[in-house]
Amino acid sequence: MYFIVLIIILLIIDYTEEITINAISFVYGGNADLYPEIVNEFNKYSQKNDLDINLKLTILTTENSTIELTNYGSMIDMLLMKKSTKYDLYLYFDSYTSIYGPHFINLENILEEDYIKMFSPELLNIGCKYNNKIVGLPLFFSMDVLFSNTMLLNKYNRKVPETWDQLLETAKYIKEEEKKLNNTEIIGYNGLFSDDESGTLSLFEFFNSYRDSNYSPYPKVKSKETKDALIMIKKLKEEIASDDIFSRDMFYTIEQLFSNNALFLKFYYGEYMPFFEVSAIPGKNENVSGSIASPFVISVSRYSNKEKQEAAIKALLFFTSKDIQKRYFIKNYYLTGIDSLYDDEDVCKMVNCPAIKGAQPYSTTAYNVTEYSIDYYFAKLRQYSYEYIFGVIVKQYKPKYIFIRYDHWIISISGSFLLPLTIIRIYGKLNVMKCIIENAFFLTGYTLNWIPLINQLIVDFPKTNKISEWLNQTRNRYLFLISFIIFEMILHGCLLIFPYDIETILKSEGENFQKCKMNNVFGKYIHIIIKFIYFIFLLSSLLLIFIEWNMKETLHEIKILFSLNFINFLQFIINKIIQSMDLNNYYVDGILFSMNIFVLSITNYIHIFLLRYYSIFFENNKNSIESIIDHFKENNLRFSPDGTSYSISTENNSCTTQQNKTDNSSFDSSATQKRQSQSHNSKYCSGNVYPRKMSQILKYHYQQTKN
């Protein structure tokens, strides 16, 4: 009898249904890898403690540009409006709290008061409250800080600045001293006033830094504080930076964080080069910081049944516990909303606690993404501020010329003016020197056209490598260009040793004329090398254009370069056709040759300058504000989002990609990098059809941001 009862009890225990709860989150580009670890850790914790809870997390990203923040917001809003029970936990940006708040449970009725009090009241008040009810907790938050180059500061016995005046004075002094040592590339301060959400945040932070104290309210737009802040921004730009540096975007700042050319940089907190010291963003006065905190919130759905809500609460407590915050979030340089952890000795070994404390009490900016006028207001605020900081012309056009450095752009343009000089051979009596000069002008002009462009394409390669880092230095760029020109000079010098023959074409009707003809065997080999160089320029640029086709930062320039490459390839074919035709007519031969050269020169010039100028004008006058409003839906986003959606579960390790649909299948976290090409075209994932190199090229082709 006892044996039967025992069997029944064991069967009941064995068949107890495990609760599966589903969470959904939008994640920035490089931050998706952390979540699988925590989800797996929770599921292990659940099994160990007999919680009978299995957590699955669906992550939405936008690397392949098929989903954006606005789409993410709309999709979640649609689910909540329909009172969907598909997801029990929601992870989202704090700006959505005003929209999603009514759909989440009030945590004050469930969690202990002491637990809620662990978190920063500023983060709770702005990012986690709806109608004075706490509907979420801050999972982590991001915040801009000041990175100071300690190598340069120590060299000149200077301290990390606490005010903008101190930063200005220090930067001016060090730049002047470095200039005496022939170092003219020091960047005083990056600004990060790009024409996007990062630029808007930079304005908010600078205005915020002009409060009288950290407890003062955020300055009004028409206040004296805002006016003084704008004056200081312009002063910093003119005295220790430039229009070009201040208008660069976040990718430029990331590059500088891994170089030793920048003195002060403003960027979000994270792990970068060890010679940078982190501190709060300076203020008008000491002990005032401009740093603005942007929390990422976790909430529980009202529409889940009671059993799932209780399970979701346990997951929420696990994610926000001190232990998990220390072991996962802080360890990976995420900032925690639990203030007491910044007094923890172990935490302060991983995080710069004084810098974070220096920004307390945290300043936050409330956003309302439901009001179109707010987005329009932000765009206008940027527009009017930049008109003062940069000037109208600079704001609209100069930032667009960041694809190629100004000096290299001039070199590239000069190549277009050198090409027409090749027609020198059709004037006057032909001789050997004219034959050599024709080839020299053509190849040198073409080299000047393309080497600066290929150089920049290598620097912009999707993955930073030793070659791109080497070519990113000004000295090495010129060395790269000069080495090609010297090699070409040697080749043309060899043509003096193995010269052309002057062939005279005798005509019974019409004028007699002469042609350059290479009969020497060694001279023919030199000709083959010259043509090979020409062809290598075309192929290498075409390959780099394909690899960087989807890079957001240079999307416009890449399309122009593709068109330029196509025209040059077409000209190469036309030139070969003309040469193969036996045109024994002086005028026809001269006209076709001249037309081909002039068309090449003019089209190269148009693509490098005129067409780009037209496109910039078209974009700025037709789409600037509209584009900003369409894309500016999350002011605190300062990372590169990435693309596919996937779910994580410990039940299996299957890998299935999908095209950003709501019902996502399981996805192995180890496939994070592979998903970029998989989500675009599934045929590239089926087995090992393509070699590894081809797969790597395809992965780069679909990559939108530089690693």
Which residues, other chains included, contact 329 with Cβ-Cβ below 8 Å and sequence gap of 6+? 34, 139, 140, 335, 336
CA distance 236 to 224: 18
The confidence score (pLDDT) of residue 453 equals: 83
Instruction: Quickly tell me which residue has 């710069």 as its tokens.
Output: 352
Averaging pLDDT over each range in 130-144, 259-273, 547-561, which range is the top one? Answer: 130-144
Report which secondary-structure segment, H or E, holds 679.
none
CA distance 256 to 187: 9
- Residue 265's DSSP bridge partners are 147
* 692 band by pLDDT with thresholds 50, 70 and 90: low
Q: Which tokens belong to 593? A: 């040759």
The confidence score (pLDDT) of residue 206 equals: 93
Q: What is the mean pLDDT of residues 89-102?
A: 86
% of the chain with per-residue pLDDT over 70: 74
Q: Which tokens belong to 166? A: 């101190």
Residue 582 has pLDDT above 60, yes or no: yes
Long-range contact pairs involving 330-336 (C-beta distance under 8 Å, separation at least 24) = 332/34, 333/269, 333/270, 333/271, 334/34, 334/140, 334/142, 335/140, 335/141, 335/142, 335/143, 335/269, 335/293, 336/140, 336/141
The confidence score (pLDDT) of residue 76 equals: 82
Q: Which tokens belong to 548? A: 């960087």
The confidence score (pLDDT) of residue 679 equals: 35
Alpha helix stretches (DSSP H) within 581-703: 586-605, 611-622, 624-631, 675-678, 692-702
Q: What is the mean pLDDT of residues 676-704?
A: 53
Q: What is the mean pLDDT of residues 647-674?
A: 35
DSSP string, 318-347: HHHSHHHIIIIIGGGTPBPSBGGGGG-HHH
Residue 444 has pLDDT above 50, yes or no: yes
In this predicted model, which residue has the larger pLDDT, 111 or 520? 111
Q: What is the mean pLDDT of residues 661-669?
A: 35
CA distance 417 to 218: 55
In this predicted model, which residue has the larger pLDDT, 254 or 315? 315
In this predicted model, which residue has the larger pLDDT, 491 or 640? 491
* 585 band by pLDDT with thresholds 50, 70 and 90: low
595-640 pLDDT, tens per residue?
Answer: 877 887 888 777 777 545 544 554 544 433 334 334 333 333 332 3
State how far the alpha carbon of 1 is from the alpha carbons of 10, 12, 13, 15, in Å.
14, 17, 19, 21
Residue 22 has pLDDT above 90, yes or no: yes
% of the chain with per-residue pLDDT over 90: 26
In this predicted model, which residue has the larger pLDDT, 95 or 153? 153
Residue 388 has pLDDT above 80, yes or no: yes
Per-domain boundaries in the chain: 143-293+370-395, 404-626
For domain 404-626, is the CATH number 3.40.50?
Answer: no
493-511 pLDDT, tens per residue?
Answer: 887 787 777 777 766 666 6
* 677 band by pLDDT with thresholds 50, 70 and 90: very low
Q: What is the mean pLDDT of residues 448-475?
A: 82
Which residues, other chains included, contact 238 with Cβ-Cβ below 8 Å and sequence gap of 6+? none
The confidence score (pLDDT) of residue 103 equals: 95
- Determine the residue type at 271: E
Output the average pLDDT for the chain.
76
In this predicted model, which residue has the larger pLDDT, 38 or 695? 38
CA-based nearest residue to 311, from 138, 523, 52, 74? 52
**pTM value surpassing 0.85:** no
* 448 band by pLDDT with thresholds 50, 70 and 90: confident
CA distance 669 to 459: 30
Instruction: Tell me: cis bond preceding 138? Omega within 30 of 0 counts.
Output: no
Can you say how many angstroms the Cα of residue 347 is from the centroid of all Cα atoms in its chain? 29
* 700 band by pLDDT with thresholds 50, 70 and 90: confident
Q: Are 262 and 149 in contact (CB under 8 A)?
A: yes
The confidence score (pLDDT) of residue 191 equals: 93
Residue 393 has pLDDT above 50, yes or no: no
Residue 485 has pLDDT above 80, yes or no: yes
The confidence score (pLDDT) of residue 427 equals: 72
Length of the chain: 707
Is the Cα torsion angle 89, 94, 249, 71 positive or negative in sign? positive
Q: Which fold has domain 143-293+370-395?
A: D-Maltodextrin-Binding Protein; domain 2 (3.40.190)
- Determine the residue type at 149: N
Domains 143-293+370-395 and 404-626 in one fold: no
Averaging pLDDT over each range in 226-240, 323-337, 524-538, 635-649, which range is the top one? Answer: 226-240
259-309 pLDDT, tens per residue?
Answer: 888 999 999 887 767 889 989 899 999 888 888 888 889 999 999 999 999
34-76 pLDDT, tens per residue?
Answer: 788 899 999 999 999 988 999 999 887 655 334 455 456 667 8
**First-to-last CA distance in the chain?**
68
In this predicted model, which residue has the larger pLDDT, 96 or 21? 21
* 366 band by pLDDT with thresholds 50, 70 and 90: low
The confidence score (pLDDT) of residue 615 equals: 47
Q: What is the mean pLDDT of residues 440-454?
A: 82
The confidence score (pLDDT) of residue 535 equals: 79
The confidence score (pLDDT) of residue 489 equals: 84
Instruction: Quickly tell me which residue has 């979420």 as its tokens.
Output: 136
State how far the alpha carbon of 548 is from the alpha carbons of 626, 639, 697, in Å.
26, 19, 10
